[in-house]
Amino acid sequence: MKKRIICLFVCLALLAACLPAAAAYHNVSPWAQEAVDSMSGLGFLPDSLKNADMGKNITRGQMCQMAVLVYNQLMGTPDVGPDSTNNFTDTSDPAINYAYEQGIVGGYGDGTFKPNDPLTRQDFFKITYNLMATAFWNPSDIELDSLDRFVDAGSVSDYALMPTRVMVSIGVVQGAGNKLEPKSYTTSEEAILMFFRAYLYMCDWINAQSEASKNVEILAQGYSGISTWAIREVQEMQQKGMIPPCLDGCDMSKPITRAQMCSIAVRAYNKATGESYTAQGSGYFKDSNDPDVNAAYELGIVGGMGNGKFAPNETLTREQFFKIMANFMKVIGYPREDSRAVTLSRYADGGKVADWAQAPTRLMIYIGSVRGDGKNLNPQNDTQIQEAIAVFLRCYKYTVAWKNDHPDGEDPNEQPSVIDDLLSFARSFEGYPYVYGGNGPNSFDCSGFVLYVYKHFGYSFSRGAQDQYKDGMHVDMDELLPGDLVFFTSYSNCNPSNSTYRSITHVGLYLGNGSFIHASNPTRGVVIDTLWSGYYYSHFWAGCRIITE
């Protein structure tokens, strides 16, 4: 398939003043520009701030509106709104009512909220603190700094003292000239910058808590020697039931044996096919009658070592491991056994790969199971148990995704399509964490995810979602094909006919049949959602085709 990027320059005018407008905020100071642009690109600037003078004070109402947008993204509830109750006598703003109901803001004793009053800095600290505490976070998890270095610390009101200490301790508030100015009003750009810092902190905190939870669960299984990079994938293999009893309570840093690898492969085969395959015969090898070894041999996943031996207790080299994974893919039904798109010479030790292992090694690199350290493949090195589990899981997820998309195999009358492999590769990252600015391979944000998937197959385009829309052929929802990028906005029922590409706040990868995969948010990570109903249907903006014929 011929690769080409079609760049179309879009210039869409607003149809009327009442229609959603592109962000046209102005008077932004250089120190705040990146944060304001980032918050806008994430869809965190409410309508009331999209055309604002950023040097002017933010109001209490505007702060509520921004807080709700961030809160819903962190909580993974993008379309949640308030109930029908009006909680204040002077406003019926849905965002204010919702923020109140979630415990993010409070009102005044006379039943008012005063939405148009400017926001003091200490009220900003309190609102941000409340939002973070509501979104799972516990301030007791951090070591609090003293406020003694600030000359006006004594001016902080009692209700804002703890929130102020917290915001200083986590770097949200840094103070200029050793002053906090708690009773001063907060400009829009100051509030956005500080809130962006809080958002990044919460992203990191949520991911850290998730990883810590996984670590606790894995250690509770009795495993030891697990590296940080392997925890998530070891846990996923455990949840899928593909870690066999022979590895119960093992030291994951030890080399895996050939027999142990057979046990993993047979369980993976049964999981992928829905079967419960057991060996039909025995006596294939003089040195092993292990049922899993016999089953793996009958299936064609492993072979012997010659002279009628299997050497079940010998450790598995990386190139032997690559060969077993390639055999597994073939048995499941993946049609390709090699990829000439991969050149082993790009690795310093690529020439050390044995002839019989070169095709499997290329294939494992092509599907993204084997990533290497960018320099070495270490083909003759032993394969650690944790390495075998993590890398095999990537191969398994890729293969199962491909097979699910091709239940009858590949059409012999059609040329193999890179799109098919690209989609299977994308699906293999389901469950990976969302990190703002994440470019892969271990974490992603929305635009970083789609870019990483495409770059793996030799395609390159812009980094941000708004710019990515300009890098391909534009398509409507009813024209979408698998592999297209799908774009969303924070507006309901907004599309290119009544807005500009600056309205775009999110991007995903269309899989077909109404499904798309995307790096959603810190709570959900990389997930598959439907495009045909719910939030994403009403917030769909347009599609973009990167690969054309």
Percent share of the chain, pLDDT over 70 = 91
Q: What is the CATH number of the domain that holds 448?
A: 3.90.1720.10
Closest CA to 64 of 88, 84, 41: 88
Q: What are the pLDDT digits (tens) for 409-457?
A: 877 767 668 999 999 999 999 999 999 999 989 999 999 999 999 999 9
Which of the four pLDDT bands, split at 50, 70 and 90, describes residue 496? Answer: low
Containing domain of residue 55, as a range? 30-207
What mean pLDDT, rounded, does the chain reach? 89
Please compute the mean of the pLDDT values over residues 506-525 and round it to a whole number: 94
Per-residue CA distances from 285 to 244, 262, 298, 432 (Å): 21, 14, 12, 40
Please compute the mean of the pLDDT values over residues 517-524 and round it to a whole number: 92
| 408 and 430 housed in the same domain | no
Q: What are the pLDDT digits (tens) for 474-489?
A: 999 999 999 999 999 8
**Residue 232 in tokens:** 């998530």
The last residue of one of the domains, among 383, 412, 441, is 412
| 108 and 128 housed in the same domain | yes
321-359: b or e for each residue (b if 16 or more CB lie within 10 Å)? bbbbbbbbbbbbbbebeebeebebeebeebeebeeebbb
The last residue of one of the domains, among 412, 435, 466, is 412
In a domain, 345, yes or no: yes
The yes-or-no verdict on residue 142 having pLDDT over 90 is: no
In a domain, 214, yes or no: no
| 91 and 167 housed in the same domain | yes
The yes-or-no verdict on residue 500 having pLDDT over 90 is: no
In a domain, 5, yes or no: no
In a domain, 536, yes or no: yes
| 407 and 524 housed in the same domain | no
In a domain, 21, yes or no: no
In a domain, 15, yes or no: no
Annotated catalytic residues are: 446, 506, 518
| 59 and 126 housed in the same domain | yes
In a domain, 498, yes or no: yes
| 334 and 251 housed in the same domain | yes
pLDDT the model gives residue 353? 96
CB 408 within 8 A of CB 418: no
Please compute the mean of the pLDDT values over residues 163-183 and round it to a whole number: 88
| 101 and 168 housed in the same domain | yes
| 141 and 196 housed in the same domain | yes
Q: What are the pLDDT digits (tens) for 15-55?
A: 222 333 445 899 999 999 999 999 998 889 998 998 899 99
Nearest-angstrom CA–CA distance, 470 and 455: 17
| 403 and 259 housed in the same domain | yes
* CB within 8 Å of 316: residues ≥ 6 apart: 255, 256, 257, 258, 261, 324, 382, 383, 388
| 448 and 320 housed in the same domain | no
| 396 and 274 housed in the same domain | yes
In a domain, 13, yes or no: no
Cis peptide bond prior to 245, omega within 30° of 0: no
Q: Dihedral of CA 82/84/89/93: which sign?
A: positive
The last residue of one of the domains, among 412, 447, 462, is 412
Percent share of the chain, pLDDT over 90 = 71
The yes-or-no verdict on residue 8 having pLDDT over 60 is: no
| 280 and 407 housed in the same domain | yes
Please compute the mean of the pLDDT values over residues 131-143 and round it to a whole number: 80
pLDDT the model gives residue 73? 87
What is the number of domains present in the chain? 3
pTM value? Answer: 0.85
Q: What are the pLDDT digits (tens) for 40-98?
A: 988 899 989 988 999 999 999 999 999 999 998 888 776 666 665 789 999 999 999 99
Q: What are the pLDDT digits (tens) for 282-325?
A: 999 999 999 999 999 999 999 999 899 999 999 999 999 999 99
